[in-house]
Structure 1
Amino acid sequence: MRPADSNRYLLIAVAAVAPAATALAQTGPRALAELRARERAQQQAQLAASAAATGGPVNIDADQVELPADPRLWTNSPPLSMAALDGKGVVFYFFEEQCAACAEQWPMLNAMAAKHQGEPVLFVAVNSGTDPRELGRYVSRNRVQWRLVHDPNGSLANAMGVPALTPQGPYFAVRSLNGEGEIESGVGTDFEATVKQALEGAAWRVAPQGIPRELMRAWESIEFGDFASAARAVNRAASSNEEGVKSAAERLQTAVSEHATELAKQAKDALDEGDKWAAYKALNRIVEQFSDYEDLPLVDRVETKRDELAEDAEIERQVEAANLLEKAIATAARGGPAAMRRGKSQLERIVSDHGGTEAADRAQKLLNSQSR
């Protein structure tokens, strides 16, 4: 074909497709918008179906729910315990990381948490079974701002009555813990209604109003039971020349003293009932959490009694088993099939070699949750 003929046929071809291209350009944005609207509607239907499948009444005893103590299993937060959350509201969001519709909810979920900042309610996301490295990438990719728990063997999900979440559905589940210690299903896909549900009976130990900026981190630590990390800041602020700072420190010191006294009472009651292990745990917590506070004289008396109990053979056995359990959980927390197998093997040895201990009971519960 001659060059001139080639150019002529090219012009004819362009002329032929130009009207179609123009029509596509005119209708493309509208068609794309309709496609996106259908996708959003489909995603909302999937989420609604997931909420229906994982909702409904639940009969959960909050005392049987245990949050992981290993810092490696938490993102955007130090480890929290159920005891530390006593009196607070909590929204738990269990999610399947391969759910695209769930991922698209994160801007809304982050905004909701920011909206309720300052209120006695926490927002905790939970993911079960994902490799920790992949979960870390998910958090970065979706800019997750909630506190997040990695639940490697699904034990927390099981304890909260959450069925297995899969890429085929259900994709997510919501649970609320209110200030009275009651656990309920979330209100479908209405997260604001779930927040309201969680706030029932919820309150701070110390209201944040009037706490100066330099004490806010210490205030948060005290609110969530990490008393030890707040000690230095509170001690320093208690001798401040600024009246507002000193007054706030005194409020925090009062909360600290009240909690230490309550733990000491629990230890005494346990001893009166013959439960040395419960008494030892309460006394040990006082020593670990409150030793660095000034003007808290009960700590010295508590430490003497704790050391006395530590020589008891049964206490030694309980402590040994508890340490082994901590190692087993840390092993499983590394993620991956091999680490999970090693962790399971360690749990089985605790059950067989340390029967009758609290750690053995907890290990058996973890093993039971893995087999479901």
Structure 2
Amino acid sequence: MRKPSLTAILAVFLLSAAARAQDSLELKGSGWVNAKDLALDRLKGKIVVVFFFEEECPRCLAGIPGRNQLRKSYAEKPVVFIAINSGNPRGVVEEYARSNKMEWPIWVDEQRETEKPFGFKISLQNIYQWYLIDPEGKLHGAPSEEAALRADIDKYLPAAKMTFDGLGIPEKLKPLARDLELGVYDPNIAELAGLAAKGPKDVQPAAQSMYERLKPLAEAGLERGKALDAEGKKYSSYLEYSRVASWFRRTDYEKTANAALAGLKKDKDVQDELAARAMLDQARGLLYSSKKVEKDSAPALLSALQRKYPNTEAGREAAKLAGK
């Protein structure tokens, strides 16, 4: 019997150590390349394959066609593939994806905020790490070899679900359905609602059935917003109502949410949170800038935010950013 190589033993050790270091994935950074608005909380019930990678690694580069094909092979199943880059700015990641035809959604982790909690650093000495989030939202270490990775994915498939399982989706609606399966709700739910109300006869019945599956999102969001408001958690309530208003535009759900938002916008705590969030977004933009003069100005803005809005969520996030 062949003994496992030192490389294989080391890979297993690093994988298990990294898995012990982190039991959840929180995406922090400057957004997506090759995707619109993915959010892990909207993917619960599906399998999410996560690939941390080093852009300068020749092996990672050579594996792009195979990884693209792997993703395509699960296109009609409740499996989502995401990659996380190794600290380079958005422009570099966009060019990498474009020039090398990498089709996976890539999370831009410029400051390695997503990577750091895992206890490893992606580099030419540690070129990639693989993880899998199961349908219950639990994070597991995953193998890098394709056959073993497929076996892990297939193990969880019976428990995974598509939002539109059991519905016949017309070809015209399949692109829309795919975006909705990925949790890209804005503007897709509003488009679907329009088709359900006044769409062509060849798609309207299917659109109506699909929209019925999504209505609970609005109803639950409105209930949460109301409950949070009653508890005095005004900003959290504001966020819930805002999501409903954004996702369900041009529907009665939007009207209900906007009516609640009108009152919440007058609340001082909500106003402070919104102003602080705007400052934090500006500071992040400077921090992730490729221009040194802009990057160097970020700490001053973070400090100003903490002084002006110390008791806000954004103020606390600014303190964490400033400490890194």
TM-score class normalised by the smaller sequence: 0.7 to 0.9
Bigger Cα displacement from structure 2, 346-355 vs 104-113: 346-355
Count of residues paired in the alignment: 316
Letter in 1 for 2:75: Q
Aligned to 2:27: 66
SS at match of 1:187: coil
Describe the superposition over 1:14-52 as per-residue Cα deviations: whole angstroms up to 9, x where unpaired: xxxxxxxxxxxxxxxxxxxxxxxxxxxxxx986874564
Task: Provide the rounded CA distance (Å) in 2 between the counterparts of 1:47 and 1:337.
Answer: 41
Report 1:246-257 matches (<5 A): 246-257=204-215
Aligned to 1:302: 257
Is there any run of 5+ residues in structure 1 with no aligned partner, and where? 1-43
1:163 to 107, 120, 125: 120
Aligned to 2:244: 286
> CA distance change for structure 1 residues 290 and 302 in 2, over 3 Å: closer, same or farther?
same
Task: Provide the rounded CA distance (Å) in 1 between the counterparts of 2:205 and 2:100.
Answer: 41
Deviation at 1:252, TM superposition (A): 2.1
Task: Provide the rounded CA distance (Å) in 2 between the counterparts of 1:54 and 1:367.
Answer: 30
Aligned to 1:145: 103
Describe the superposition over 1:191-247 as per-residue Cα deviations: whole angstroms up to 9, x where unpaired: 22443466473212222852112222322333333333122354135434535x122
Task: Provide the rounded CA distance (Å) in 2 between the counterparts of 1:194 and 1:332.
Answer: 38
Task: Provide the rounded CA distance (Å) in 2 between the counterparts of 1:311 and 1:120.
Answer: 42
Task: Provide the rounded CA distance (Å) in 1 between the counterparts of 2:307 and 2:11.
Answer: 39
CA RMSD of aligned residues (A): 2.7
Task: Provide the rounded CA distance (Å) in 2 between the counterparts of 1:290 and 1:238.
Answer: 13
Task: Provide the rounded CA distance (Å) in 2 between the counterparts of 1:173 and 1:324.
Answer: 34
> CA distance change for structure 1 residues 367 and 186 in 2, over 3 Å: closer, same or farther?
farther
Is 1:85 aligned to 2:43, yes or no? yes
Is 1:260 aligned to 2:218, yes or no? yes
TM-score (norm 1): 0.76
> CA distance change for structure 1 residues 239 and 84 in 2, over 3 Å: closer, same or farther?
same
Is 1:364 aligned to 2:319, yes or no? yes
TM-score (norm 2): 0.86
SS at match of 2:20: coil
Aligned to 1:314: 269
Task: Provide the rounded CA distance (Å) in 2 between the counterparts of 1:287 and 1:345.
Answer: 35
SS at match of 1:90: strand
Task: Provide the rounded CA distance (Å) in 2 between the counterparts of 1:184 and 1:341.
Answer: 37
Describe the superposition over 1:102-141 as per-residue Cα deviations: whole angstroms up to 9, x where unpaired: 2222122111111111111111111132143333332233
Task: Provide the rounded CA distance (Å) in 1 between the counterparts of 2:302 and 2:37.
Answer: 21
Letter in 2 for 1:204: M
Report 1:46-65 matches (<5 A): 49-50=10-11, 52-56=13-17, 57-58=19-20, 60=22, 62=24, 65=26
Deviation at 1:65, TM superposition (A): 1.4
Is 1:175 aligned to 2:175, yes or no? no
Q: 2:46, 2:78 within 8 Å by CA — same for their partners in 1? A: yes
Q: 1:178, 1:200 within 8 Å by CA — same for their partners in 2? A: no
Letter in 1 for 2:121: A
Aligned to 1:350: 305
Deviation at 1:156, TM superposition (A): 1.2
> CA distance change for structure 1 residues 118 and 150 in 2, over 3 Å: closer, same or farther?
same
Aligned to 1:239: 198
Letter in 2 for 1:257: K
Task: Provide the rounded CA distance (Å) in 2 between the counterparts of 1:48 and 1:94.
Answer: 20
Letter in 2 for 1:288: S
Is there any run of 5+ residues in structure 2 with no aligned partner, and where? none
Letter in 1 for 2:250: D
The percentage of counterpart residues that share the same residue type is 21
Task: Provide the rounded CA distance (Å) in 1 between the counterparts of 2:193 and 2:253.
Answer: 18
